[in-house]
Amino acid sequence: MVWNTTNLDELPVYGKLMKLARNPFDLTASGAISPERIKAYKASAAGFDLLFATQRLDGAGLNGLQQLADQSGALDQFHGMKSGAVMNRIDGHESEERQVLHTACRDIFNETPCHVEAAGQAKEQLEKLKAFLAELDKGELVNEQGESYTDYVNIGIGGSDLGPRAVYHALSAYLLKSRRVHFISNVDPDDAAAVLKKLDLSRTLVGVVSKSGSTLETLTNEEIVRGAYVEAGLNPKKFFVAITGQSSPMDNPEKYLRSFYMYDYIGGRYSATSMVGAVMLGFGLGYDALIEILRGANDMDKAAEEKDIKKNPALLLALLGIWNHNFLGHGTVAVLPYSQALLRFPAHLQQCDMESNGKSVTRNGEKVSGVTGPIIWGEPGTNGQHAFYQLLHQGTTVVPAEFIGFRQSQYGEDLLLKGTTSQEKLVANLLAQSLALATGRKDDNPNRFFSGNRPSSVLLSDKLTPYTMGGLLALYEAKIVFQGFIWNINSFDQEGVQLGKVLANRFLEHFNILRQAGEKDREQHPESWLMLEAAGFFQED
């Protein structure tokens, strides 16, 4: 067994941290945020600087967090995960019993990968993708009219949509000329209809993403889109690409132009750097940009194995989150990217974090003794400043914030106005918000009084590029699994999703009965029939 199954409150350092939390560092005190503190409270890796002088802890607290990392065995568990240990399990109870090897998708640049077989499979799929993209680029793969493909529709939901979509939007400044990508995820038919209206189907490829080949929402949307191709007189088989598990029902050359494989050991919400994201990103950005994404993610993965938390931003961010959540009692985290390109990144993190760590059972199968995953939310700045920052500054709920920013813009198209550029204004706002949350402001007018002592961290990089996007993605993936290790929970299953699916299928059976004017068995599942009636879908005779 590669993990330490000791619960957080059983670790020797827990009592020390609880004592420190009773009187945390006062960010509002005179000189508290000194030049020396700002310079010292910084961790860097893979193109990112994590500035955390605006967190409520001092040297003793930082030392305690280092001990927490050491005593929990977080790094050993992370290395065990990368090396192929079966991490997706609950001792003594039926569980998925899977390896967790999303890092192998980018562990292809090292002479000795942590898991040779998985890295080999990743290389094999990348080679297949490279050849496919080369056919498109050289005009060897075209439609029946000899025209190139200009558009790509990604059909998937959950991890097959959120992470890849976030990365695509983040890097749309680097799109290849005359290439566009579109996304259909919601089973709401209006989602598919709105996308289809924009397309010349004869020049559009469709990627259908489902590991099992049986995801209901994805298969429903696939059939809607297939129907549109048939109606347009086109053979879907010549346009549809499958991204699925090997030997799944979708691994079928009779229905798909090509198949790319995702493996059982890669969880959906950690799959953006697998073929789940790679096929779409390769089409939109090109193979070289895709490789840069993987390179950035791999460099952050390597930094995540550093023992010293001051050299490991992912582990440090995880520990700061635990300090705020478990010791200071703050139940939510706002992720605030000061980059419009990252507008979908908080949505990805909502799934990646809350589906991973929204657990109340330990890996020993026992009820957890403390709190686990926080609520994650956020929007890009500066727009958010004119929406919800009022609550962040003066509300009764303290919301720790994680700001993300870049020193340069992506397009380099900027305006000098009143002595500063737009990008300088953007970064100034980011830094000002972090400082204002920390220090507050005293005022005799209670309406203009800011209490301060509202913790935040700032992640800064030079520019949002494919490389830094890969690093940012991997940083948050590592942060999430580190927190799960320390809380002694399984961050890699999602049993909480299943009950709703079961009940949804029951309602679908009811709809089918109604459509066929069949007998309504009100004695079986009366509560769902009553809800259907209350929702106005049928009336009693």
Residues 6+ apart with CB under 8 A from 11: 68, 71, 72
User: Please, are residues 274 and 266 in contact by the beta-carbon 8 Å criterion?
Assistant: yes
Considering the candidates 97, 424, 501, 509, report the single residue annotated as catalytic: 501
Residue 54 structure tokens = 């605006």
Dist CA 334 CA 397 (whole Å): 12
Active site residue 510: no
Residue 19 gets the label, from left (phi > 0), alpha (psi -120 to 50) or beta, of: alpha
Indicate which residue of 292, 355, 402, 477 is catalytic.
355
Helix (H, G, I), strand (E, B) or coil at 457: strand
Q: In the block, which residue shows the tokens 């100034």?
A: 428
For residue 361, the cross-strand partners are: 367
Distance separating alpha carbons of residues 308 and 277, to the nearest angstrom: 32
Given a contact cutoff of 8 angstroms between Cβ atoms, the answer to whether 132 and 258 are in contact is yes
Q: Which of 177, 367, 386, 418 is catalytic?
A: 386
Cβ atoms of 480 and 491 closer than 8 Å: yes
- H or E, element range at 207: strand 204-210
Q: Let me know how long the chain is.
A: 541
Instruction: Fill in the amino acid letter for 181.
Output: V
Q: Are 305 and 78 in contact (CB under 8 A)?
A: yes
Q: Reply yes or no on whether 501 is catalytic.
A: yes
Cα–Cα distances (Å) from 76 to 89, 140, 306, in that order, read 17, 48, 11
Q: How far apart are the C-alpha atoms of 46 and 465, rounded to whole Å? A: 12
CA-nearest of 334, 474, 463, 469 to 405 is 463
The DSSP call for residue 23 is S
Distance between CA atoms of 287 and 280, rounded to whole angstroms? 10
CA distances (Å), 232 to each of 13, 190, 200, 467, in order?
66, 19, 10, 40
Single-letter residue type at 237: K
The residue written with tokens 């503190």 in the block is 37
φ, ψ at 85 (rounded to 5°): -65, 150
State how far the Cα of 333 lies from the Cα of 350, in Å rounded to an integer: 10
Catalytic (active-site) positions: 355, 386, 501
